[in-house]
A and B are shown apart, each in its own frame.
Chain A
Amino acid sequence: MFIQSVKLPLLGFILAMCLSGVSTAAHSQEAAPVAATSPSVTSPTTAPSSTAPTESVQKPAVTPEVENLKVSVLNLNRDLLILEEELLYPASNQVAIYLSMDLGQFFNLDAVKLEIDNKLVASELYTDKQINALFRGGVQRLYIGNLKTGEHEISAFFTGRGPQQNYKRGAKLVVNKTQAPLVLELKIMDSTAQLQPTFDIKEWKAE
C-alpha cells in the first residue's frame, strides 16, 4: 500500500525532473544558463506529478507595457540631457575632453588629472572595468565644462604602470577657444618603435 501511495508519484516526479530538459536542472547556477542560451525542449517542471511531456510555450520576455514605459523614460532622459547641456554648457562656451587608449600594451592606466590653465578640473582613478572598457575601444568623456574665448592651456597628467617601469607623464596643448565648442581627446598610445607609451592631446575640429 505504501509503495503504491508514495513511491510511484514520487518516482514520476523525479523522472519528470530528469527528463524535463536542461532548463530544469536543480542546480540553477550551472544548468540554467543552458535554459537561457539553448532553450530546452520543455518548460521548467513545476508540476511534479506526471511524466507526461510538457511542451513549453515561452511567453514574450518583455511585455509591451514595460517596453513602452522603458522607451518613453529613455526618450525623456535623452531630452533632459539635451536640455541640461544647453542650459549648463552652451555651445559658445562648451569644452569637452575625452580620453582614449590605443592598444595599451605598454601602459596600464591608474589615474588621470586634467588641468585647464593650471586649475584642476577633473581627476579619475580607474577601475579594472573602466580600463577594460578603454582597452576595448571605449572612449571616456572625462570632462565637460565652460571656457571663455581665447587662448587656454590644457594639461593632462597620466599615472600608470608599464611592463618595465611605472610612468608619470604629462601632455600639454595650448588651444584657442572660439565661439564653436572645443573638443579635445587625450590619447594614450603605444609607440611600437620606442616600445613605450606616448601621450597626446588631439583637438577635434568641427567639420
Chain B
Amino acid sequence: MMQSLAEWFSNKRASNSVLTLPLVAVLFSWFCATAQAAEKPKTHVADLRYGVSLYHYYQQDYIPAITELMVADARDGIKGHGNNPELIAGGLSLAFGMQNHAEQLFTQLLQDNSRPQAVRDAAWFYLGKLQYARADWAGAAKSFSRVSGKFNEDLLAEMHSLQINLQIKQNDLTPLSIKKIEKDNLAQWEPFALYNLGAAHARNGDMNTAKLFFNELTELSFNANNQSRAEYLTLQDKAHTATGYTYLQEKSYLAAIEEFRKVRLDGIESNQALLGYGWAAIAQEKYVEAIKPWQVLQQRSLLFPAAQEALLALPFAYEKLNAPGDALREYEAAEKLLSQEINLVRDMRATLTAGELLTLVSSNPVSPKELQELEKKNEPGTLTALITDDGQNWLKLSDTSVIKTRSIYLRELFAQNNFQSSVLDLRDLLKLQKLLLAWQPKLKAYDELLQQKQAWRQQKEQQLAQQSLAQKQASMQQERDALVTRIAAIKTNNDYIALADAQTRKRFAAVERSTNTLARMKAEGQDTLEYEDRLWVTRGILLWRAAQDFPVALAELDASVAAMDAAIENIKASRAKIESITASGQDLQPLFTRLEQQQAHVDKQLKDLNGVIDVRAEQLRRKVDAQLSAHEQRLNRYLAQSNLAVARLYDTALRKQAQ
C-alpha cells in the first residue's frame, strides 16, 4: 500500500497541478504517520462517514468528499479518527482551490500544541507551500523552518528544493553550491534545482558558474520510471541548449555547436538547438554548415517560432553564399507561408469565443491510458496543455476546436501557473454550477412530494379526528338533552321527591305503596281512617323535607347541564382546531419554509455563479487572444522582414541589370 501511494505521489508530482499535489502529499504524509502497520485493516474505520469521504476523495470526486465531511461536521462530527479528518479537510480544500480555507484549517491545527509531531510537520509544510504559492517568501521560509527533521523523507526533499527556490528568489546564490545540492539529498528534485540554479547564474551574467550547474545536470544518471526519465531528458536538453546559447554569447562557437549536438533531435528543445547551431556556424562564416540544420528546421511545423525564424535565416545563408536566386526563392516562399499563417491566426482570433473555452474546460478529462497514447504521438495540436488535478488530464482539443490547429502558440500560456489556476477555478465553478442546476428540479420535486404528503395526511387526519370527536360530541349532546328534559319535567311537576335524597325517596315510595294498600282495604269495607291520617302526616313530612332540599338539588342539575354544554363546546372547538391544523399542514410547514428558502438560495447562487463564470471565461479568452496577438505580431515582423529582403534583392538585381 505504501508503495502504491508513493508511486501515485510520484505520478502526481510529475503531473501539472499546483493545487492537487499538496493534497496527495497530505494524505501521503498522513499515511506515513498513521498507517505504518500495513497489516492493520484499512477499512477499520471508526466512523463510516470518514470512510465515505475517503472513498470519494480517492476517486477525485472532491465535492462529495468535502460535502461528506461538512455534513458530518454539521451533525456530531467525525469520531475516532483523531487529527485525520482535519488534515483531509485541509487537503480537500486545497484540491478544490480553497486555499484561504485550507490555510485557516492548517493554522487552527497548529495552534494546538498537543498535536502529534507528524501532524504538525505536515501542517507546517503545507502551510509553507501555500505561502510560497502566494509569493509570501518570508512566511514560507519561516513555516518550512518549523518542520522537524523527522518529517517524511520524500516531502523533506521537496521542501529543500523549495527552500533553494526561495534563496534563488532572494538572489542569495552564494551558499548554493553543487556540494550543498548533493548534501541536501534532493532525490528527484535535484535536476530541477540544478537547472534553476544554472539559469539563475546565467541571468546574473555568471556564465561560468551557470555552466557548472548545467554540466552537473547533464551528467546526472537516473534510473527512475519512464515518466521521470522523459522529464530528465527534457531538462538535460534544456541545459545543453542553454549552455550552447551561453557559449554563443561568449563567442565560443565550436563549444556552442558541441552543446547543440547533444540535444536529442526528437525532443522539444531540438528546434532551438538547430537554430542556435545554424547561427554558431554563420558566426564562423561556415554558411554551408548553417544551411543543414536550418533546412531540417524549415521542414518542421511552422507553428514553432524557431521554424518561423528558419524561414528567414535560410535565405540569409544563401545570400551569404552569394546565391541570390535561391535566397529570393526562399524569401518569397517565406512570404507566402507567413501570410497564410497570419490569416489562420487572425481567423482563429476572430472565431474564438468564451463559450468555446467553457466547452473545452468542462469537457471530459483524458484518461491516463489515452494520455500515454497522445504523448507518444506528440503531434502539434493534439494536446495543448495538461492541467491535472486528479491523475487525469484535461484539455484534449476536439477536432472541431478553433484553436486546435494552432494550439502550439498557446503552449507557453497554458504552462503558466496563473493560467492553469484560472482554468481550474473555472472548471470548479462549472462543476458547482452543474451541482446547483441538478438541485433545481429535485427541489421542485420535493416540494410536490411535500404537497402530496400534506394532502394525504390532511385527508386521513381529518377523517380520523373528525370521526372520533363527532361521536363523542353526539353522545354528550344526547346525554345533555335527556338531562334538560328531565329537569324541565321536574320543574313543571314540582317533583320534589325526584330530587330528594335516596332515603326520602325510599320512604316516600313506601308511603305510596301503603296508600295503595289502604285504598284496597277501604274498598273491601275495612276501617282505615286512623292509618290514613298517620300516612298523610308521614307523606306531608317527607314532601316537606324534599321541598327543603329541592332548590339546591335543582341548581346542581342545572350546573351539570352547564358543564355538559361547556364540554360540548370544547369538543366543537377541538374539531375546529383539528380541521384548521390538517387544512394548513402545520407540522409540514417548517419543511415547506426551508424548501422555499433553499430554492431561493439556489437561484441566487446560480445567478452569482453564472455571472462569475461569464467574467472568468471572458478573461480567459482575452488571455488566449493576447497570446495569439503576440504571435501574430511576431509573424508580422517576420513578414515585413521578408518583404524588405525581397524588395532589396529585386532592387539589387535591377541595379545590376541597369549597370
Q: Does B124 contact A (CB under 8 A)?
A: no
Q: Does A150 contact B (CB under 8 A)?
A: no
From B413-421, B492-500, B548-556, the one touching the partner chain is: B413-421
Q: How far is the CA of A31 from the CA of B235 in the complex (A)?
A: 8
B residues 235-279 in Cβ contact with A at 8 Å: 235, 238, 241-242, 245-246, 248-249, 267-269, 271-272, 275-276, 279
Q: Which residues of A contact B19 (CB under 8 A)?
A: 61
A residues 36-86 in Cβ contact with B at 8 Å: 36-46, 48, 51-53, 55, 57-67, 69-84, 86
On whether the beta carbons of B97 and A37 are closer than 8 Å, the reply is no
Q: Does B605 contact A (CB under 8 A)?
A: yes
Name the 9 nearest CB pairs between A and B, nearest first.
Answer: A139-B51, A138-B55, A53-B203, A133-B58, A27-B268, A61-B421, A100-B43, A18-B242, A137-B42
Listed A/B pairs (13) with beta-carbon separation below 8 Å: A6-B316, A22-B195, A30-B231, A39-B133, A39-B165, A53-B203, A61-B18, A66-B429, A66-B612, A70-B432, A84-B442, A88-B446, A183-B48
Binary interface profile of A, 1-39, with partner B (CB < 8 Å = 1, else 0)? 011011100110111011111111111111111111111
Q: Does B298 contact A (CB under 8 A)?
A: no
With contacts A26-B269, A98-B48 taken as known, whether A64 is within 8 angstroms of B100 at the C-beta atoms is yes
Q: Which residues of A contact B169 (CB under 8 A)?
A: 41, 55
On whether the beta carbons of A80 and B412 are closer than 8 Å, the reply is no
Q: Which residues of A contact B70 (CB under 8 A)?
A: 74-75, 78
Q: Which residues of A contact B54 (CB under 8 A)?
A: 133, 136-139
Q: Does B329 contact A (CB under 8 A)?
A: no
With contacts A32-B385, A69-B429 taken as known, whether A135 is within 8 angstroms of B98 at the C-beta atoms is no
Q: Does A101 contact B (CB under 8 A)?
A: yes
- Contacts A41-B200, A79-B601, A81-B71 supplied; 8 other A-B pairs, CB < 8 Å: A11-B276, A14-B306, A21-B196, A27-B269, A61-B18, A100-B51, A137-B42, A183-B48
Closest Cβ neighbor of B5 among chain A residues: A136
Q: How far is the CA of A79 from the CA of B70 in the complex (A)?
A: 9
Q: Does B358 contact A (CB under 8 A)?
A: no
Q: How far is the CA of A157 from the CA of B193 in the complex (A)?
A: 54
User: DSSP majority for the B interface?
Assistant: helix
The 8 Å CB contact of B133, one of A14, A27, A60, is: A60
- Shortest distance in angstroms between A196's beta carbon and chain B's nearest beta carbon? 17
On whether the beta carbons of A25 and B48 are closer than 8 Å, the reply is no
Q: Does A87 contact B (CB under 8 A)?
A: yes
Q: Which residues of A contact B52 (CB under 8 A)?
A: 98, 138-141
On whether the beta carbons of B48 and A204 are closer than 8 Å, the reply is yes
Q: Does B460 contact A (CB under 8 A)?
A: no
Q: Which residues of A contact B203 (CB under 8 A)?
A: 19, 41-42, 51-53
Q: How far is the CA of A15 from the CA of B66 in the complex (A)?
A: 45
Binary interface profile of A, 126-143, with partner B (CB < 8 Å = 1, else 0)? 000110111111111100
Q: Which residues of A contact B51 (CB under 8 A)?
A: 98, 100, 137-139
- Shortest distance in angstroms between A16's beta carbon and chain B's nearest beta carbon? 9
Q: Does B14 contact A (CB under 8 A)?
A: yes
Q: How far is the CA of A194 from the CA of B16 in the complex (A)?
A: 45
Report A's interface with B, CB cutoff 8 A.
2-3, 5-7, 10-11, 13-15, 17-46, 48, 51-53, 55, 57-67, 69-84, 86-88, 98, 100-103, 129-130, 132-141, 183, 185, 187, 189, 204
Closest Cβ neighbor of B453 among chain A residues: A87
The 8 Å CB contact of A67, one of B98, B199, B442, is: B98
Q: How far is the CA of A204 from the CA of B306 in the complex (A)?
A: 67
The 8 Å CB contact of B605, one of A76, A129, A133, is: A76
B residues 175-219 in Cβ contact with A at 8 Å: 189, 192-193, 195-196, 199-200, 202-204
Q: How far is the CA of A53 from the CA of B169 in the complex (A)?
A: 11
- Shortest distance in angstroms between B615's beta carbon and chain A's nearest beta carbon? 9
On whether the beta carbons of B238 and A57 are closer than 8 Å, the reply is no
The 8 Å CB contact of B97, one of A17, A55, A67, is: A67
On whether the beta carbons of B415 and A25 are closer than 8 Å, the reply is yes
Q: Which residues of B contact A101 (CB under 8 A)?
A: 42-43
Q: Does B491 contact A (CB under 8 A)?
A: no
- Shortest distance in angstroms between A32's beta carbon and chain B's nearest beta carbon? 4
On whether the beta carbons of B245 and A132 are closer than 8 Å, the reply is no
Q: Which residues of A contact B421 (CB under 8 A)?
A: 61-62
Q: How far is the CA of A40 from the CA of B168 in the complex (A)?
A: 9
Q: Which residues of A contact B230 (CB under 8 A)?
A: 30
